[in-house]
Amino acid sequence: MLKKKKKETPENLTDVQNENVPAEEQELTQQTEAAQEPSAEDKAKEELAQANEKYLRLYAEFDNFRRRTSKERVELLQTAGKEVIVSLLPVLDDFERAFKSMDQATDVVAVKAGVELIYSKLNNILQQKGLKPMEAIGQPFDADLHEAITNIPAPNDEMKGKVVDEMEKGYYLGEKVARFAKVIVGS
C-alpha cells in the first residue's frame, strides 16, 4: 500500500518548527501569543465601547429627527391655511372693486346684484373647501350642534323643543362642526 504524504499545512509547519526551537524560546513565543490575544475583560471593554458609540449615534440621529419633525410641524401650522387664503384673494379683490363702484353708483339694484355675485363666489369657494351650512330651523335642539341663545314660547305644540329661529348659521367642515348654530328654542 501507498502511504499518503502529509500535506504541509500551517499547523504542521508550526509543529515542525517547534520541534527545532529550544523550550525556552517556545515559552516566550507562547507568552507573546497569549499577550497578543485579548483577554475576556478587554473584549468586554471593546464591546462596551462599540455599544456606547452605537448608542450615541442612534441618540444623535433621533435628536436630529425630533428637531426636524418639530420644525416641519411649525412650518405646517404656519402655512396650513395658505391654500384657503389664496383661493379667497379673488373675493377680496371683488370687494375692493365693489367699494370703488359704490362711490360712483346711482343704481342700487346694480350694487346689490354685484354684492350678491361676490357672496355666491365666496360661498362656492368655501363649499369647494368642504364647508357645508347646517340646517337648524325646525330641527330638534341638539346641544352637540346648536348653541341655545334663549327659549321662547313655541308657536305651536310641534315646535316645542325644536329650533324656532336661527341667529347665526352653523357650519360643518367635512364631517365635523366648524361653528355651532346660535339658535332660539321653542319651549
Contact 91, 125 (CB under 8 A): yes
- Of these ranges, 2-6, 90-94, 106-110, the one predicted with the greatest mean pLDDT is 90-94
pTM for this entry: 0.54
Domain limits, the chain? 130-187
130-187 CATH, one of 3.90.700.10, 3.40.50.2300, 2.60.120.10, 2.30.22.10: 2.30.22.10
Looking up cell 475583560 gives 41
Q: Average pLDDT for residues 38-64, to the nearest whole number?
A: 92
> How far from each other are the two terminal CA atoms of the chain, in whole angstroms?
121
What are 53-105's pLDDT values in tens digits?
999 999 999 999 999 999 999 888 877 777 888 888 888 888 888 888 888 87
What are 150-171's pLDDT values in tens digits?
888 888 888 888 899 999 999 9
Q: Which of 165, 171, 170, 169 is nearest to 185 (CA)?
A: 165
Q: What is the pLDDT of residue 27?
A: 64
In whole numbers, what is the pLDDT of the chain averaged over residues? 82
Q: Whats the size of the chain, residue-wise?
A: 187
11-15, 87-91, 137-141: least confident range: 11-15
| Count of beta carbons in the 10 Å neighbourhood of residue 141 | 19
